[in-house]
Chains A and B, each alone.
Chain A
Amino acid sequence: MVDRTSPNASPPGGPQRPPLSAASLILRLGGIAVVVAAVAGAFAYVHGNFDPQRLTPKALVDVLEKNNGVHPGFRRNHAKGVCVIGHFESSGEARVFSSAQVFNEPQTPVVGRFALPAGNPYAPDSSVPIRSLALRFTQANGQQWRTGMNSMPVFPVGTPEAFYQLQQAQSPDPATGKPDPAKVPAFFAAHPETVPFLTWVKTAKPSASYATETYNSVNAFYLVDASGKKQAVRWSMTPLARDAAGASAPEGGDFLEKDLVQRLAAAPLRFQLNITLANPEDPVNDASKAWPAGRKVLNAGTLVLEKTQPQLSGECRDINYDPLVLPAGIQGSDDPLLAARSAGYANSYLRRTSEVSQLPAAKQEARP
């Protein structure tokens, strides 16, 4: 281009171009708008804005809040619980299958939490026949293994979509303010995968103690050895002290934490980590299906719990027991519930950590 003005004042090609016709200007501005709208639209598409039916972490946690009410600062599920501190002693048996340090070191410190699988932190302990145990193992190399286990052997459903529908079936009806009693049976009738869970839950009673339950990973994982070979597994923590097994729940709503504090004042509690090895034909992507009996079980070591802490001031309070926080040597399976738990827990964690200042004073929750 030829510069008519001072060569220093204006870079070549600047203002000397012939003006655009009105039509050309509109076309060009329109072109810019189309490009920008296409990028913004693609972003909105990925973000789920055009798909209100997409199951999002927010929707999962919203339905829990709808069913249980919002209890600021508390977990949106398994809201009532107690922290436990202890360590894990590896037997060395799992070492052949997993390179994880937790199976190779003699001891690994653990911060755990016993809880009720309910969204209301004030639910009576006898209201649910299930208890849960979450653990965080902190390896010497800094990697962590987090696991959230439940006392049921299988999950009611196999997919996050079905879990969401089951929660929706329990949501209060806007007209009556109460859940429609016909909806849950209708859900179960439409979901034959719930049969193993329903068969189990018929015989399940609320236990009198956290210490007498067996806690199951429910979801499947892989142990990975140093050469990268993978073995599908499920694990469980089985109590070594079965003194009060089968005891029926006492009166009152808050006996579990008292029982645990009493037991730990007397002696540490021990659980055995049993790791069940899947056969090649066993389903690893469906937590609603049990694996047949007779599978090889490793005794991977002993969990020793030494003391409790109140959940509102204890170390477990700020831990998100995301089952996909795993050390090298353990991997998640393609069970779709695992990714959904991870995503949903993250959403719940952000909500409750934003509300820490609204928690009731820790001493109110603490019991002798």
Chain B
Amino acid sequence: MSTQPTHFALLARLLHWLMALMIIAMLFIGAGMVTSVSERHEWLIHLHKPLGIAILVLVIVRLLVRLTTRQPPLPADLPGWQVLAAKASHLLLYALMLVLPLLGWAMISASGEPVMLSTTLQLPAIVPADAQLFAFLRKAHGYLAYLLFLTVLLHLAAALFHGWVRRDEVLDSMLRGRDRS
């Protein structure tokens, strides 16, 4: 039998699905927030900040789990371009999960506003207050969030392609802990 794992570790799978929910929620919160002037704008912002920091903490845990557990290999017959696309998109997903909360934290710091996660919980500023830096970070936060949404859509489409069209073990390796019998 192969010594390669056929599934992701339990903790890796839990983190994947928990963060999938949080990130999808976060993208929708962000999209609703920037296009609303109603009270919704205010309560979405109050959700967006602590949820973003929670994602930052979880992605660090997740990177540690990723580096200390073994991942199931991609199917051996997967075309080269799809292997490349899979690896590049996963790298991009990890990078964006890490960078977006940091950009959000940095842009509030650059605006000179206190970084408040609740009415009393305050984080330190991670960059000095600077208007031009704020504008750069705010735009980067927005554009990269759209990029993350597109990457998530691609990831979703690819996962379903593996599950429904190729019918290989890729989707199953993130869904279940045991081999199909």
Residues of chain A from 311 to 333 with CB closer than 8 A to chain B in the complex: 317-320, 322, 324-325, 328, 331-332
A143 to B122 CA separation, bound complex (whole angstroms): 8
Q: CB-nearest residue of chain A relative to B6?
A: A11
Q: Is the CB of A56 within 8 A of B76?
A: no
Q: Is the CB of B31 within 8 A of A356?
A: no
Q: Is the CB of B169 within 8 A of A11?
A: yes
B167 interfacial contact with A, CB 8 Å: yes
Q: Is the CB of A57 within 8 A of B111?
A: no
Q: CB-nearest residue of chain B relative to A17?
A: B167
Q: Is the CB of A28 within 8 A of B165?
A: yes
Interface residues on A, range: 35 or more
Selected interface stretch from A229-237, A273-281, A335-343: A335-343
B177 interfacial contact with A, CB 8 Å: no
Residue of A20, A32, A36, A40 contacting most chain B CB atoms (<10 Å): A32
Question: Known contacts being A56-B37, A339-B39, is A11 close to B75, with CB within 8 Å?
Answer: yes
B132 interfacial contact with A, CB 8 Å: yes
Question: Known contacts being A32-B164, A35-B156, is A43 close to B27, with CB within 8 Å?
Answer: yes
Question: Known contacts being A328-B119, A356-B131, A356-B135, is A11 close to B160, with CB within 8 Å?
Answer: no
Q: Is the CB of B75 within 8 A of A15?
A: yes
- On chain A, the residues within 8 Å of B73 by CB distance are 11
Question: Known contacts being A15-B75, A20-B165, A143-B116, is A324 close to B42, with CB within 8 Å?
Answer: yes
Q: Is the CB of B36 within 8 A of A334?
A: no
A344 interfacial contact with B, CB 8 Å: yes
Q: Is the CB of B37 within 8 A of A160?
A: yes
Residues of chain A from 1 to 50 with CB closer than 8 A to chain B in the complex: 1, 7-15, 17, 20, 25, 28-29, 31-32, 35-36, 39-40, 42-43, 46-48
A103 interfacial contact with B, CB 8 Å: no
Residue of A14, A25, A338 contacting most chain B CB atoms (<10 Å): A14
Question: Known contacts being A11-B72, A13-B180, A340-B38, is A46 close to B153, with CB within 8 Å?
Answer: no
- On chain A, the residues within 8 Å of B149 by CB distance are 43
Q: CB-nearest residue of chain A relative to B125?
A: A142
Q: Is the CB of B131 within 8 A of A318?
A: yes
- On chain B, the residues within 8 Å of A1 by CB distance are 180
A349 interfacial contact with B, CB 8 Å: yes
Q: Is the CB of B75 within 8 A of A343?
A: no
Q: Is the CB of A142 within 8 A of B114?
A: yes
Neighbour of A353 across the interface among B4, B32, B77, B131, CB < 8 A = B131
Q: Is the CB of A336 within 8 A of B39?
A: yes
Question: Known contacts being A11-B76, A336-B39, A339-B37, is A319 close to B169, with CB within 8 Å?
Answer: no
What is the 8 Å Cβ interface bit string for chain A, positions 195-233, against chain B (1 contact, 0 not)? 000000000000000000000000000000000000000
B68 interfacial contact with A, CB 8 Å: no
A269 interfacial contact with B, CB 8 Å: no
Question: Known contacts being A14-B169, A35-B160, A332-B42, is A46 close to B31, with CB within 8 Å?
Answer: yes
- Output the least CB separation between B99 and chain A (Å): 19
Residues of chain B from 12 to 54 with CB closer than 8 A to chain A in the complex: 24, 27-28, 31-32, 34-42
Q: CB-nearest residue of chain B relative to A161?
A: B37
Residue of B35, B76, B122 contacting most chain A CB atoms (<10 Å): B35
- Output the least CB separation between B176 and chain A (Å): 13
- On chain B, the residues within 8 Å of A70 by CB distance are none
A33 to B97 CA separation, bound complex (whole angstroms): 25
Q: Is the CB of A56 within 8 A of B180?
A: no
A65 to B1 CA separation, bound complex (whole angstroms): 69
What is the 8 Å Cβ interface bit string for chain B, positions 107-123, against chain A (1 contact, 0 not)? 00001111010011010
- On chain B, the residues within 8 Å of A39 by CB distance are 24, 153, 156
What is the 8 Å Cβ interface bit string for chain A, positions 70-87, against chain B (1 contact, 0 not)? 000000000000000000
25 examples of A-B residue contacts, CB within 8 angstroms: A9-B76, A11-B72, A12-B180, A14-B168, A32-B157, A35-B156, A36-B153, A36-B156, A36-B157, A40-B153, A43-B27, A43-B31, A48-B35, A56-B36, A142-B122, A144-B113, A318-B134, A325-B113, A328-B120, A339-B38, A340-B37, A353-B134, A353-B135, A354-B135, A356-B132
Known A8-B4, A356-B135; further 12 A-B contacts with Cβ < 8 A: A10-B75, A11-B72, A11-B76, A14-B75, A15-B77, A20-B165, A32-B160, A35-B156, A36-B153, A36-B156, A324-B42, A339-B39
Give 9 nearest A-B pairs by CB, closest first.
Answer: A353-B135, A340-B37, A48-B35, A47-B31, A318-B131, A354-B135, A353-B131, A10-B76, A28-B164
